[in-house]
Chains A and B, each alone.
Chain A
């Protein structure tokens, strides 16, 4: 009833942790039985250690929060030696989120993780907090396609492309990811926002801007998941403000095949298991399943035309 598939990745249920909001899962292991979670998505791993941004890094907003962490992590070497073995003891499928500053770094990370043995890769093309003067990968369809294709060439597991909502139109980017061979799309990353301290007449966060997450962005995420679902044939991992089983079902209907829970795990470290239980109860009540709910809003819509017919739309 709860099983779902993301390409060749089979999950016991569609509930995943989101990247950057549950560490490696290890930190939260005492709060609930994590083996019951569909999958764990790691915090973004980069090639070299990254110190991240100076504090203050977070600020609660109406029904959400801003963060500007800046991908603080100890780098892939540490992750492989220390973190991955711990994650393996937790039970769920392991989806490793990788972040490169260049295409070559993405490839290198993918190679390292694929030889270490994981269940899937999530390619972070969209962190809003680490620009360093470079273009965000997922604001550019060509970079998206090239990066995904390069990762795919070396990957022996499904590859999901995590996209940014901070674009005028997400559909060309989603199609570019599909064209590059992505096995799925994760939508969405955080929305760029700002909080202001009027007494100091300056932004609250040290870097000025941050990524908005939490229930406040759920309608935006649902809209974008639906838009992406209408234009690609690969599965979608919905993410953005989901915190209940009802939210998960909404994302499934809109076009997702699995859903990541992010900010809600700050609020309740044991949130995942509660959602899985509620999901089972709700689906039993209505006599349905995750498979039947997933993409149900798209069944009456025309299928997207074949991809090569769409390429002319991509800026070259």
Chain B
């Protein structure tokens, strides 16, 4: 593993404070759910790198992109970069979504869409059935990136205001797909999005008899296991009785039953 200094290809404004940061490669092969630590070469005023799932990647790795929602100075510095400016890139890091699930139900909110593009592409390459993708947002504008899934996923969109797709929350969409038997009890959900949405999805999955894996976002200083800052509260045999787990190494993907969800 090395940290590489790569160049910004372009920054695309997706609306709603979300951006796609495209970076010239080489971008290494990455499994769905793995992440990279990114920081600007300019550095000031931000010190630490920030973790992001890889979104898009050229088949030859000549470029890749990351979905970034501006939340503070670190994310702002990344999306304010211009073409040609340097980005320090470390990765891929972390434990991906289980590759053993042949027909996952992917549920995304906002920039939580990121890990599922490479997942959908990978499943097509492996000749697996098209994964189902449930993508929820406040309105149509919040569904940026969904067009990239045409032909590689069975897409079901939901908007809170009904401006596109199913009118309601993504959890209600999941329930309706259970009724119409597009999703069956016993199947496995892969989920990535805002904490509140992931918690709601995890709870619903528990009630409806679905397995559920969440890709978590935590504050992270290093990304390679030395800062002990990204810990999440966990339970279960994988952690041998230890109440905390480093999201950068054991995660960012956890099964919902491993997490202490409040």
Contact = CB atoms under 8 A, between A and B. Distances in A.
A91 B218 CA distance: 33
Interface stretch (A142-150, A263-271, A286-294): A263-271
Nearest to B43: A267
Nearest to A27: B225
Interface in A51-101: 51-52, 54-60, 62-65, 67, 69, 72, 74
Contact of A57 (B47, B48, B231): B231
Interface residues of B, number: 31
A266 B226 contact: yes
Nearest to A271: B3
A277 to B, nearest CB: 16
Interface in B32-65: 39, 45-49
Residue of A65, A69, A72, A267 most packed against chain B (CB within 10 A): A267
Contacts of B224: 27-28, 31, 269
A69 B2 contact: no
A58 B46 contact: no
B227 A60 contact: no
B235 to A, nearest CB: 13
A43 B222 CA distance: 15
Given A23-B226, A269-B222, A63 B2 contact: no
Interface string B132-146: 000000000000000
Contacts of B227: 21, 58, 67, 69, 266
Contact of B244 (A23, A52, A60, A62): A52
Given A72-B228, A269-B90, A51 B242 contact: yes
A215 interface: yes
Interface string B200-242: 0000000000000000001111101111111111000000001
Interface string A264-303: 0111111000000000000000000000000000000000
A43 to B, nearest CB: 8
A55 B231 contact: yes
Contacts of B1: 30-31, 269
| Chain A interface mostly | loop
Interface string B82-94: 0000001010000
B48 A266 contact: yes
A3 to B, nearest CB: 27
A30 B91 CA distance: 12
Contact of B3 (A214, A215, A263, A269): A269
A22 interface: yes
B228 A69 contact: yes
A265 B37 CA distance: 13
Contacts of B90: 269
Contacts of A43: 226, 228
A28 B226 contact: yes
Contacts of B49: 266-267
A192 B61 CA distance: 44
B243 interface: yes
A182 B232 CA distance: 38
B74 interface: yes
Nearest to A71: B228
A54 B228 CA distance: 11
B45 A62 contact: yes
B226 A265 contact: yes
Contacts of B226: 21-23, 27-28, 43, 265-266
B3 A57 contact: no
Interface string A32-66: 00000000000100000001101111111011110
A308 to B, nearest CB: 42
Contacts of B219: 55-59
Interface string B118-151: 0000000000000000000000000000000000
A60 B2 contact: no
A268 B231 contact: no
Nearest to B48: A60
A76 to B, nearest CB: 16
A72 B47 contact: no
Contacts of A64: 47
B39 A267 contact: yes
A18 B7 CA distance: 31
Nearest to A23: B226
Contacts of B225: 23, 27
Nearest to B2: A31
Nearest to A67: B229
Contacts of A268: 3, 88
Contacts of B88: 268
A63 B44 CA distance: 8
A55 B218 contact: yes
Interface string A97-110: 00000000000000
Interface of A: 20-23, 27-28, 30-31, 43, 51-52, 54-60, 62-65, 67, 69, 72, 74, 214-215, 263, 265-270
Going nearest first, the 6 A-B pairs with the smallest beta carbon separation are: A58-B229, A23-B226, A266-B222, A266-B221, A30-B1, A27-B225
26 contacts: A27-B224, A27-B225, A27-B226, A31-B2, A43-B228, A51-B244, A55-B218, A55-B231, A55-B233, A55-B244, A57-B229, A58-B230, A60-B48, A60-B221, A63-B45, A64-B47, A65-B48, A69-B227, A72-B231, A74-B242, A215-B47, A263-B47, A265-B222, A266-B221, A268-B3, A269-B1
